[in-house]
Structure 1
Amino acid sequence: MSLLFYLVVGLLAATIGSLVGLGGGVIIVPALVYLGPMLIGQTVPVAVAVGTSLAVLIFTALSSTLTFVKQRRVDFKSGWLYFITCGPGAMLGSYTTQFVNAKSFQLAFGFFMLFMAILLLLRDKIKPLKVIWPIQRTFTDAQGTEHTYGYGIVPALIIGLAVGFISGLFGIGGGSLFVPAMVLLFRYPPHVATATSMFVIFLSSIMGTITHLQLGEVDGWMVLGLAPSALVGGWLGAKIAGRLSSKKLLWVLRVTFLLVALKMIQEGFSAA
């Protein structure tokens, strides 16, 4: 039962996480905390669930990033820029996890995801920023349509820091903030935002996991159980993402964020 649980959770989390640029922690963390006692007979502390999830994200993000690289969707130049602050931010967030209790974690996680879901739901009604960013990039999609987007160094570094901190704190990879920010603020095409997000998540997950390991918050046996199917799921999610239109991918993002937000908020208030 334990092995089947790990295989299913790893595959589902990595597939969805890679598909929407999250990394899969939005499924792994709740699954370990809520289902662990019932299905594997083990109560998993929030900090351990977060640390273990972040360690598994290394495999998920690596698998999906390699697939996205083959599809030529990763913007490495902006990705490395985000990582300058995202890496240290992940370590800081990982260190902070030990001071957050389960109830506070659930509510903070839930309301954060709800905010991101609302932003994406209102995306079509939000007027694009009338900003000509100093760094301009172009991307031509599979349909031959050329997309132009851009960013500024300082805003990118600030977003990288916020993403890194959230990644380490929640164990979710940070894509829940990264992808909307890239799409709404910098006008990245969703496919490029998802792919670039996964590349940065791969790097920052390594940094955050190092901190969680030092704090003893990573369960090695759980990582071994989750990692194999996570590698497959990372590849599968990236392949599916490559076949979806930008509009469909955005709806997957919206629905995923909303469902996770409502579940976490409900559990947070139930624990009160």
Structure 2
Amino acid sequence: MGLLHVIGYGLLGVAVGALGTLIGAGGGFLLIPILLFLHPGDSAAVLTGISLLVVCANATAGSIAYGRMRRIDVRAGLVFILAGLPGALAGAWATRHIERRVFGPLLGAVLILGGAAIFLSPRAGRVVSPSSRTRTLVEKDGTVHVYAPRIVLGAALSTGVGFLSSLLGIGGGILHVPAMVYLLGFPVHVATATSHFVLAFLALAGVLVHATQGDLAPGYARALPLSAGVVAGAPIGAWLSNRIQGRWILRGLALALASVGLRLLIAR
């Protein structure tokens, strides 16, 4: 691979890292469709392996940035990680058994449904009433979040999110963030930060499965500059998140999902 290709992948990684961290999605939902278009000869397993490696790098860098802001609900995140790991491992293994001609439309449909669900959701979170489940999270800058998360439901959802995210190489944030906001009662900014924390571990589980199956070997030359780029772009996304209201983050996520999903379906 030539120098221009390395630079191109690096710049793509910066964009994916910034956008993925901004909305807590890890960037895989942007990267995997691009890889499908650029590399029509590669199998779904190879491309999802590359994407999950990049998502892992992005989520790790983003988690460090959000951790410095004290925006991550670590207790909830650890529960979701433990619940999501079996699904993430199974999803990465199952990718090998999906033909590419099926993979593209499946990914497109999931992205469109995710975008539609966000657009049609009537509210961004539940009204908090005092209870034993109420939590208070204070960020480094003094911003206070009071919420009552549904941890048990979140754990159940995390297993399915882990499976689909590894199966499609999208990382899971596009599914996890809306679920955390609309179903589990998390504030948007806490959801994006905590989702990134969870993604780092679930994506790593998927990467390990792909590595042991040999899926990553053909993709390291692309994955390394992409990963370097997302590490550079993640702090930019975290910085932007302080300057964009939560509802605009969700609207941007919904629009991006629907656009990318439609493009995948049209391409078939």
Same fold, TM exceeding 0.5? yes
Whole-angstrom distance in 2 between the partners of 1:13 and 1:125: 28
Following superposition, the deviation at residue 5 of structure 1 comes to 2.4
Question: Does the residue aligned with 1:150 lie in a helix, a strand or coil?
Answer: coil
Alpha carbons 1:133, 1:150 under 8 Å: kept: no
Q: Which residue of 1 aligns with 2:253?
A: 253
Following superposition, the deviation at residue 127 of structure 1 comes to 9.2
Q: Which residue of 2 aligns with 1:204?
A: 202
Which of 28, 31, 35 aligns to 2:34? It is 31
Q: Which residue of 2 aligns with 1:179?
A: 177
Question: Does the residue aligned with 1:29 lie in a helix, a strand or coil?
Answer: helix
Q: Which residue of 2 aligns with 1:40?
A: none
Whole-angstrom distance in 2 between the partners of 1:174 and 1:27: 12
Whole-angstrom distance in 1 between the partners of 2:133 and 2:88: 25
TM-score normalized with structure 1 length: 0.88
Q: Which residue of 2 aligns with 1:147?
A: 146
Alpha carbons 2:70, 2:138 under 8 Å: kept: no
Alpha carbons 2:125, 2:182 under 8 Å: kept: no
Question: Does the residue aligned with 2:121 lie in a helix, a strand or coil?
Answer: coil
Alpha carbons 1:9, 1:27 under 8 Å: kept: no
Q: Which runs of 4+ in 1 moved over 6 A?
A: 129-134
**Structure 2: runs of 5 or more not aligned:** none
Question: Does the residue aligned with 1:17 lie in a helix, a strand or coil?
Answer: helix
Q: Which residue of 1 aligns with 2:66?
A: 68
Q: 1:250 to 1:143 in 2, by over 3 A?
A: farther
Alpha carbons 1:14, 1:23 under 8 Å: kept: yes
Following superposition, the deviation at residue 98 of structure 1 comes to 0.5
Question: Does the residue aligned with 1:135 lie in a helix, a strand or coil?
Answer: coil
Alpha carbons 1:132, 1:150 under 8 Å: kept: no
Question: Does the residue aligned with 2:147 lie in a helix, a strand or coil?
Answer: strand
Whole-angstrom distance in 2 between the partners of 1:243 and 1:126: 18
Deviations 1:133-162 (A, max 9, x none): 873323457685643231132x22211101
Alpha carbons 2:125, 2:185 under 8 Å: kept: no
**Structure 1: runs of 5 or more not aligned:** 38-42
Whole-angstrom distance in 2 between the partners of 1:134 and 1:159: 22
Deviations 1:106-145 (A, max 9, x none): 1111111111111111222699599998733234576856
Alpha carbons 1:75, 1:196 under 8 Å: kept: yes
Q: Which residue of 2 aligns with 1:221?
A: 221
Alpha carbons 1:74, 1:195 under 8 Å: kept: yes
Q: State the identity %.
A: 28
Deviations 1:204-239 (A, max 9, x none): 111110000111111222221211111011121111
Alpha carbons 2:18, 2:236 under 8 Å: kept: yes
Following superposition, the deviation at residue 248 of structure 1 comes to 1.7
Which of 106, 109, 112 aligns to 1:108? It is 106
Q: Which residue of 2 aligns with 1:22?
A: 25
Whole-angstrom distance in 1 between the partners of 2:117 and 2:22: 19
1:151 aligned partner, one-letter code: R
Whole-angstrom distance in 1 between the partners of 2:134 and 2:61: 28
Question: Does the residue aligned with 1:73 lie in a helix, a strand or coil?
Answer: coil
Does 2:164 correspond to 1:161? no
1:211 aligned partner, one-letter code: V
TM-score normalized with structure 2 length: 0.90
Question: Does the residue aligned with 2:134 lie in a helix, a strand or coil?
Answer: strand
Report matched runs for 1:74-93 at 5 Å: 74-93=72-91
